[in-house]
Amino acid sequence: MMVSRFDLGPRHAAGRCVVVRVKAWTETKDELFAELKSASFNRLADRSQKAAVYRSLVICLQLLSEVKELNRVFPIWAGEYPDDPFVESEYERIKRRFGSAFTPDLPVAH
């Protein structure tokens, strides 16, 4: 099958979109990690803000398919904020997506 040069444009653009999204997710992930380590954020942010940052980080890690980091970060979020209503739904979503590769150290009550 011969591919027209006009057919390559949308495919090339779609590939670039994926690269741009991955770059954006990676930058966001790095910023969220930095925020969590920031002394000023830890001193000034309230509990719900910190839980929201963890959730955002977990979502970025899911989008980047960084299961090893999810296995490390998720138990911290679940352990520090067990009352966060999003912990259980994110756990279920990650477990469905990654299956047995997702093995956080902290068990989440279901």
The token pair that represents 37 in the structure block = 């380590």
Query: Model pTM greater than 0.85?
Result: no
The token pair that represents 69 in the structure block = 């980091």
Give pLDDT tens digits for 58-85. Answer: 999 999 999 999 999 999 999 999 899 9
Residue ranges of domains in the chain: 7-101
Give pLDDT tens digits for 27-67. Answer: 999 999 999 899 888 888 888 899 999 999 999 999 999 99
